[in-house]
Amino acid sequence: MKSRSQTYFRLSFAVHDLLAQNVIITGLLLTLDRVEQSYPYMLLFVATNINWIISSYFFGLYRGKHRSTHHFFRKSFYTFSLYFFLTLLFIYFSNNHYSRIFTIIFFSGFGTIIFISRMMYVGTAFFFSNRYQQQKKIVFIGYNDITKKLARHFSLNNAAAVHGYFDVYDTLSTPHEQYLGRLNNCLGYALENEIDEIYCSISPEADDRIYELAQAAENGFIRFKYVPDFRIFLQRNYHVDFASDVPILSLRTEPLEEVDNRIKKRLFDIVFSSVVILLVLSWLVPLIALLIKLDSRGPVFFTQMRSGKNNVPFLCFKFRTLKVNGDADKVQVTKDDKRYTRLGKFLRKTNIDELPQFFNVLQGWMSVVGPRPHMLRHTEEYSKILSDYMVRHYVYPGVTGYAQINGYRGEIREKEQLLKRIEYDIYYMEHWSMWLDLKIIVLTVFKSFLHDENAY
């Protein structure tokens, strides 16, 4: 039922948005004196529809479950921004002269409708959720960390009125003012006080009365919800998926496990790396190559085997920044490393030395954004220090990454530095989105022009 409602929600908004866009264009074509219903405008009509479909797919506007109404609002904003950009590109490169009045009214009108529809959705959802939640009354069975955490959640978010706790024992090990009595008293109290939901954190296997209580509560139109404590098995956060009706626990969420997300990320990698190679590296590589040759003896590029996705080694490209030496595969580069060439220090500070890795991206060994690839030797060493280290290899390594924009780049001198870098890498993997990738790229470019004490 829940899946059907989510499908209906996505479908209704998809139809609404496309209909609104097409109604505005049609209305403008019929009413504006300066606009003729000519071939260029018919072409624009088709292009706007295609651009909206591409943009909404790119940010997953009508796909998946939105974590909140505000999350849907943000995705709508990102989608419209990309749509606006793509449509302007089409207008610019089509060599057709479109009316400025038409363009301004169309974008402002469609943007306003998108904004108003989302605001109405957020406001309506907020109104009805508050109205329902203020009426909802709940009790807990069991007084432990799980129920206390839930009680705090409901109270802080004004989600329900918590009446108190019942337990299987006469008294709680830790007395609490909201202790309502033994398990046997729970149903009577719930019926008398018109309780809406009972949350039970005690395993039915531990007390047979739980089964009977659950059935009696359902018959009394009181929703009975069981809260399992999987921390017995997993001493960490976990994620629950369902295959049919079978719950499946995993240690983390991974958006890039979904095929369509991998396709979007790969398409973005191909387009972005191709643009960088054609517009930047086509003239920058010969220039840097000349400067490197004038500065020191040795090859232009430094190539080294690095750890890729699933720990598969690949040949990573960089501009050479050090004098030719035999320790390149063994020793990290330090702040005052004597192996630097005069040009090399500048290339590393500005991240220019990493630009040849866009060839790795185009080849499919790397992504534009992801955990930075480490030397094979360091992968072996670090995996022995941190148990979660190898998790970062679930995704393709990146030219830049979430850890790097947060200051964790360059030499690793202490275990804490490695720990924080891995935390950021895993966070990126668990919270990936196209918007996060774009944010990391923009911040990387911005930080390249600022002084970073770890840039060496």
Cβ burial of 361 (10 Å; 0-12, 13-18, 19+) is buried
Average pLDDT of the segment spanning 276-300: 90
pLDDT grade for 456, boundaries at 50, 70 and 90: very low
Distance of alpha carbon 285 from alpha carbon 278, whole angstroms: 11
What percent of the chain lies above the pLDDT cut of 70?
80
pLDDT of 206 strictly over 90: no
Residue range 52-87, pLDDT digits in tens: 988 888 888 887 655 556 677 888 888 899 899 999
Quote the CA–CA distance of 449 and 266 in Å, as a whole number: 28
- pLDDT of res. 1: 43
87: Cβ contacts below 8 Å, ≥ 6 apart: 47, 48, 51, 107
Task: Judge whether residue 101 has pLDDT over 90.
Answer: no
How far apart CA 200 and CA 186 sit, in angstroms, is 11
**Residue 321 CA from chain centroid, whole number:** 34
pLDDT, tens digit, for every residue of 222-244? 888 888 766 555 555 666 666 65
Task: Give the SS3 label for residue 312.
Answer: coil
**What is the mean pLDDT of the segment spanning 295-301?**
87
In this structure, the dihedral spanned by the alpha carbons of residues 133, 136, 137 and 142, taken in order and rounded to 10 degrees, is: -70
Compare 125 and 385 and report the one with higher pLDDT: 385
Which of 117-121, 260-264, 333-337, 418-422 is predicted with the least confidence, judged by mean pLDDT?
333-337
How many Cβ atoms from other residues are within 10 Å of residue 221's Cβ?
Answer: 9
Secondary structure letter of residue 277 according to DSSP: I
Enter the tokens of residue 102. Answer: 């038409």
Specify the amino acid at residue 185.
N
Q: Is 236 exposed, middle or buried (0-12, 13-18, 19+ CB in 10 A)?
A: exposed
Integer Cα distance of 76 and 424 in angstroms: 27
Cα angle value 377/382/357 (rounded, 5°): 60
Average pLDDT of the residues of the chain: 81
Q: Are 288 and 351 in contact (CB under 8 A)?
A: no
Q: Over the stretch 370-383, which tens digit does the pLDDT of each residue have?
A: 999 988 888 888 88
At 349, list the tokens.
């500070």
Q: Which segment of 17-21, 141-145, 399-403 scores lowest on mean pLDDT?
A: 141-145
* Pick from 19-23, 97-101, 322-326: least confident: 322-326
Q: What letter represents residue 53's amino acid?
A: I
DSSP letter at 251 equals S
Q: What is the mean pLDDT of residues 385-412?
A: 86
CA distances, 257 to each of 253, 264, 368 (Å): 9, 12, 18
Between 250 and 49, name the one with better pLDDT. 49
- In this predicted structure, the answer to whether residue 2 has a pLDDT above a threshold of 50 is no
At 19, list the tokens: 């209909």
Residue 428 has pLDDT above 90, yes or no: yes
User: 416: helix, coil or strand?
Assistant: helix
In this structure, what are the phi and psi dihedrals at residue 351, rounded to the nearest 5 degrees? 65, 10
Please give the backbone phi and psi of residue 137, each rounded to the nearest 5 degrees, phi first. -120, 135
**Side chain identity, residue 289:** A
Which domains, and CATH codes, for the chain? 2-133 (no CATH), 136-228 (3.40.50.720), 257-448 (no CATH)
- The stretches of 401-456 forming alpha helices (DSSP H) are 402-405, 415-430, 434-448
Q: Are 428 and 434 in contact (CB under 8 A)?
A: no
CB within 8 A of 108, min separation 6: which ones? none
Q: What is the mean pLDDT of residues 390-402?
A: 91
Tell me which DSSP letter residue 265 carries: H
For residue 332, give every residue at least 6 positions away whose Cβ sits within 8 Å of its Cβ, in sequence order, or none.
378, 411, 412
Q: What's the pLDDT band for 325 if we cut at 50, 70, 90?
A: confident
- pLDDT top residue among 178 and 405: 405
Instruction: Identify the pLDDT of residue 361.
Output: 95
Quote the CA–CA distance of 311 and 424 in Å, as a whole number: 18
Position 369 pLDDT exceeds 50: yes
Q: Which of 110-119, 244-253, 273-282 has the lowest mean pLDDT?
A: 244-253
Q: Measuring CA to CA, which residue among 430, 396, 432, 401 is closest to residue 312?
A: 396
Task: Provide the β-strand partners of residue 23.
Answer: none
pLDDT of 327 over the 80 cut:
no
- Tokens 């702040």 belong to 335
Q: Per the structure block, which two tokens stand in for 355?
A: 């630009």
DSSP summary character for residue 386: -
Mean pLDDT of 241-261: 72
